Amino acid sequence: MLRAVLDTNVFVSGLLSKTDLPAKILEAWRDGQYVLIRSPPLVAEIKRALETARIREKYFITDGDIEQLIILLEKDALVVPGHTDVKNAIPDDPSDEMFLACAVDASADFIVSGDRHLLDISEYKDIPIITVSKVPRASARGTLLRISRNAYDLK
């Protein structure tokens, strides 16, 4: 089964919107179409993003909601340490390097991101970095197809 790392924006967008592509990508994970890869730094960043006042107030997110999500990630996602040394891989935004470390630790098949710093490098150690629109989906229903590494153009 394919392994994917989702950046924080893709993950949080998928949680907050039930109809956009990020939501469909999370739905595919919950349906077992791929293995979601997480590391402690990524989980901590998701938690921080959901704890911001703007997100909590706009989407009525409680401490209990966040705790349930963290438990779900620890239970249903493959958690790796995220300790691989990727220093200076993204000099313009070193905070994004945690996604690369997570992907390398897990031998991920791809990283899904909307972050330009990640997308600008396009791949790292043969792991493609793609946008949500590059993840295959059925046009009629908007749901993800069975994900296959050869199902989309990674370049």
Domain-by-domain residue ranges, the chain? Answer: 3-134
pTM: 0.86
Q: Give the 3-state secondary structure percentages of the chain, helix then strand then coil, rounded to 5.
A: 45, 15, 40
Q: At the topology level of CATH, where does 3-134 sit?
A: Rossmann fold (3.40.50)
155 residues of the chain, pLDDT tens digit each: 899 999 999 999 999 988 899 998 999 998 888 999 999 999 999 999 999 999 999 999 999 999 999 999 989 999 999 999 999 999 999 999 999 999 999 999 999 999 999 999 999 999 999 999 888 653 334 445 444 444 444 33
- Using DSSP, state whether 112 is helix, strand or coil: strand
Q: What sections of the chain are H helices per DSSP?
A: 8-16, 21-30, 40-50, 53-59, 63-76, 97-106, 116-121
